[in-house]
Chain A
Amino acid sequence: MKTIQFETPARQENASMMHESVNHLDLSLGISSSNDACNYKNAPKTAKRMISFQTEPVDASPAYKKCVSVSSRMAFDYSYLFSHCPTGFVDPWSLAARQQKAAAEQAHLKANPNPTSSKIAMEPQQAPVVVGWPPIRSSRKSLINQNLTKSCTIDGKDSTLKSEKLAETKDAAIRLELRPTLYVKVNMEGFSVGRKIDLSAHNSYESLSRALQNMFCNFLSNKLISKDAHANANNSEFILLYEDYEGDKILVGDVPWELFLKSVKRLYITRHSSAQEKAGDGIKDSQKEEANHLTDCSN
């Protein structure tokens, strides 16, 4: 079956051209992807964050510098950005750039297939990256995503090998364009400004933890946390909590990932010691007394 490209030729051209510079913009575009976790370290901070946290970009990439200088120019001349099919500079924050990034990610995935997708023997399907197509509401789209995830994880009665492989490519493609997003606020203790992270871009606690570490290592550049991922995993300085729809703060990691996604509303990163203090408030008085009693006894 002949696969037909959906993107207009101009856009596709730009997708490949923009691939390199787009990588630098991972962080600024806020699209977290477990495949590209390493890019977070190299990603420049955007102008917004630069002012908020009063830190200098240590290794601002040329792409970023160009962005800032162009943006000050943009204050007076928006002609570049108006064009529907730009052949020149594309504003990194534009909708078109995000679409191109999605296309670039798709191309990236195909270029570097992970082991599971290499099993796919059938003709690779070009995932459509057309915004708003097909014309179905987001409530129905999320139903389709759920359905496909189920067919991936459960050995259903009707699933043949082919449909499983289909589902794997779809899963990857869906993440890029069609998945519903689940942005939650992340607040780190001691900082009034928080971040937002898209939970549906992750499929496990490890992936989330890595993304959060990369996201917040900038906050603590002058403190204890290093950029080394391994050190962070063992570092017990900080713990991750989440707030569910009832308003309770709960330690992340107890429930299966899917269940976690359903109930999480916000995330908090707090220091281990102060969390213990706060935990103390939650304990019932009798238990507290009992704990004190035991301590007294041992003394």
Chain B
Amino acid sequence: MKVQSAMFYFPEEVIEHIFSFLTHHPDRNTVSTVCKAWYKIERLSRCEVFVGNCYAIRPDRAAARFPGLRSLTLKGKPHFADFDLVPPDWGGLAGPWIEAMARSCPNLEELRMKRMVVSDESLELLVHAFPNFKALVLVSCEGFSTDGLAAVARSCKSLRELDLQENEIEDRGPRWLNSFPDMCTSLVSLNFACLKGEVNLKSLERLVCRSPNLKCLRLNRAVPVETLAKIMNQCPNLEDLGTGSLLADQFSEAYVSLISALQKCKKLRSLSGFWDASPLCLLAVYPICANLTGLNLSYAPTVQGQDFINLIQHCVKLLRLWVLDSVGDKGLAVVASACKELQELRVFPSDLFAAGPATVTEEGLVAISTGCPKLNSLLYFCHSMTNSALITVSKNCPNFTRFRLCILEPRKPDPATNEPLDEGFGAVVKTCKNLRRFSISGLLTDQVFYYIGKYAKALEMLSIAFAGDTDQGMTYVLNGCKNLRKLEIRDCPFGDGALLADVTKYETMRSLWMSSCDISLRGCKALATKMPSLNVEIINEWEAEMEENLNNGVAEVISNNNNKHINNGNDERKVEKLYVYRTVGGPRTDAPDFVWTL
């Protein structure tokens, strides 16, 4: 008793100091729930906030709670938006967040956003509202153009990091690079690899020249070898390089200077880009391969066969490898023999149709698992997989935390036995106790979900497509996976029974996505009624187009009264897309016409 109350006699500064050692978000969240005093101390001293679903809380409330915020991470659209399953204009707007932060959190220095819609105006506001702004990281975002980048470049006095990964950026010309002021020398990380257009090469060279702290530089395809060589000569301390187009003649000056420049970069650990790479330019890379820990060849279909083998043999310290399946099982076998430290492997498809001679099969995966026992993260696209291969892989590599296997043909069985792949995936969950992320494919029955529910106790994210037989499948998962945070399902025969099996479960999860399943409006309404703390959103795309056409053509104005349509009587109608997430912000105010919140 006495010990407990002793804490209250500590001055606030001491408690704050103690909290400063807590950097893990869940810990800080827990601590803030102890008592009012701790809540207040924690919120005023909090520097970093992670919001996994931007609609889980209103921006104003988040900004007001943490006035001292320095770093904010936001995620918007559901994961399946990457594969065009979420209609455009769905939401995920960054504007309200930036405005809220501008009002309440003047100390903001870093903003990281994933799958959000950011406008040029928001970017303008961002750089003008926060004098200390240092780092902008945008992943899979859209809605802005190179003009917005120009605004960021122009107005940020001490910009350290501008990292653009896989965004859709409207190209309004190469002038944005000129916008970095001459006195900007603070750049540490610049990544514009996703830009499709031209860049001003002279400006790029000048910018690199005056950035002595540059550690990470990722160029886009428009940057030729000549410029790359010049840049490499300027920054020998580079640790992470994304090349531009690697097309060069053997006897060209550019090629020769590239070789000498690369040799000077003793600290280079990570390489990516390799667009249009000619075998010759690959030769230039050999001298630095021995120190590489990360290599991304997934945008280089020209690197295959013997070229790839020659390159990868030297990369003995490799931890992370991303390739295309054109390297084939043969290439993967060489990886297995050379890269003993490998922890992460991603194999992307280069060919979506028939399996040619040079794509990967289960043999390649087995070889990797035999040679690289430290493998813990896998993303593997292939045309077929067998149960025995999966069982072997899980025996060899029990340390998987992320295991994503995508068999390109939906519902494809084990070709050797013609059976479903339940046992193979079941073996993975049985042996890999630390599995946090799992994606499954191929022919699968309810049995695989039984295994997942029973063994995958650490599982946090599960992606399912074209799998299962009955509602029982989904129920196994909901009942068994205690740590499940995100569940995304498409084209599975799960219906209302599965959806409503355990409604309180959704409050413990971040979100649930179900598309092209067997759920009806009745089921969704029931869920919404039982669980007011969830937003149950239905997406109807045709609805929006129909309304648009009608508004233009026919004289009557269709009122945007969703209730009229929802309560139209027929609740047995099937719901095409469902997105359920927990929130304290209530139904969202920016939902477009085709999103109905029940």
Chain A residues within 8 Å of B, Cβ to Cβ: 1, 4, 6, 46-48, 50-52, 68, 71-72, 74-75, 77-79, 81-85, 91, 93-96, 125, 127-128, 130-140, 143-144, 147-148, 158, 163, 166, 169-170, 173, 178, 245-247
> Once bound together, how far apart are the Cα atoms of A143 and B465, in whole Å?
24
A51 contacts B171, C-beta separation under 8 Å: no
Q: What are 28 inter-chain pairs, A to B, with CB distance below 8 A?
A: A47-B550, A48-B549, A51-B553, A52-B552, A68-B553, A71-B550, A79-B568, A81-B542, A81-B543, A81-B546, A82-B573, A84-B576, A93-B542, A93-B545, A93-B549, A94-B545, A128-B409, A128-B410, A130-B491, A135-B439, A135-B463, A136-B349, A144-B350, A147-B301, A147-B350, A169-B353, A170-B352, A173-B353
Known contacts A74-B546, A137-B83; A144 and B352 CB within 8 A of each other: yes
> Once bound together, how far apart are the Cα atoms of A48 and B552, in whole Å?
5
Contact of A47 among B197, B299, B552, B558 (CB under 8 A): B552
Query: Which residue from chain B places its CB closest to the CB of A77 in the assembled complex?
Result: B568
Tell me, rounded to whole Å, the shortest Cβ–Cβ distance linking B467 to chain A.
13
B299 contacts A143, C-beta separation under 8 Å: yes
| 5 further contact pairs, Cβ within 8 A, besides A131-B85, A135-B83, A166-B356 | A4-B409, A51-B553, A75-B550, A81-B546, A127-B353
In the complex, chain B residues whose CB is within 8 Å of the CB of A136? 83, 348-349, 381
Contact of A130 among B410, B542, B549, B570 (CB under 8 A): B410
> Once bound together, how far apart are the Cα atoms of A96 and B541, in whole Å?
10
B84 contacts A138, C-beta separation under 8 Å: yes
A139 contacts B85, C-beta separation under 8 Å: no
Query: Which residue from chain A places its CB closest to the CB of B570 in the assembled complex?
Result: A79
Known contacts A93-B542, A163-B356; A75 and B556 CB within 8 A of each other: yes
Q: Is residue B282 contacting chain A, with contact meaning CB distance below 8 A?
A: no
Known contacts A51-B553, A132-B80; A170 and B353 CB within 8 A of each other: yes
A132 contacts B194, C-beta separation under 8 Å: no
A71 contacts B552, C-beta separation under 8 Å: no
> Once bound together, how far apart are the Cα atoms of A224 and B411, in whole Å?
57
Please list the 4 inter-chain residue pairs (A to B) with the smallest Cβ-Cβ separation, ordered nearest first: A47-B553, A94-B542, A84-B574, A132-B83
B550 contacts A79, C-beta separation under 8 Å: no
Known contacts A135-B465, A140-B298; A71 and B574 CB within 8 A of each other: no
In the complex, chain B residues whose CB is within 8 Å of the CB of A68? 553-554
In the complex, chain B residues whose CB is within 8 Å of the CB of A163? 356
In the complex, chain B residues whose CB is within 8 Å of the CB of A85? 574
Contact of A91 among B140, B350, B542, B569 (CB under 8 A): B542
Query: Which residue from chain A places its CB closest to the CB of B545 in the assembled complex?
Result: A93
Contact of B410 among A91, A95, A133 (CB under 8 A): A133
Contact with A along B509-528 (1 / 0, CB 8 A): 00000001000010000000
Q: Give chain B interface residues in 422-458, CB to chain A under 8 Å.
A: 439
A137 contacts B166, C-beta separation under 8 Å: yes
In the complex, chain A residues whose CB is within 8 Å of the CB of B85? 131-132
Q: Is residue B408 contacting chain A, with contact meaning CB distance below 8 A?
A: yes
Q: Give chain B interface residues in 108-141, CB to chain A under 8 Å.
A: 140
Query: Which residue from chain B places its CB closest to the CB of A147 in the assembled complex?
Result: B301
Tell me, rounded to whole Å, the shortest Cβ–Cβ distance linking A163 to chain B.
7
> Once bound together, how far apart are the Cα atoms of A170 and B543, in whole Å?
33
In the complex, chain A residues whose CB is within 8 Å of the CB of B349? 134, 136, 144
> Once bound together, how far apart are the Cα atoms of A170 and B554, in whole Å?
41
In the complex, chain A residues whose CB is within 8 Å of the CB of B351? 144, 148
Q: Give chain B interface residues in 527-581, CB to chain A under 8 Å.
A: 540-543, 545-546, 548-550, 552-554, 556, 558, 565, 568-570, 573-576
Query: Which residue from chain A places its CB closest to the CB of B541 in the assembled complex?
Result: A95
Contact of B348 among A52, A140, A158, A247 (CB under 8 A): A140
Q: Is residue B406 contacting chain A, with contact meaning CB distance below 8 A?
A: yes
> Once bound together, how far apart are the Cα atoms of A95 and B539, in whole Å?
12
> Once bound together, how far apart are the Cα atoms of A50 and B575, in whole Å?
32
In the complex, chain A residues whose CB is within 8 Å of the CB of B3? none
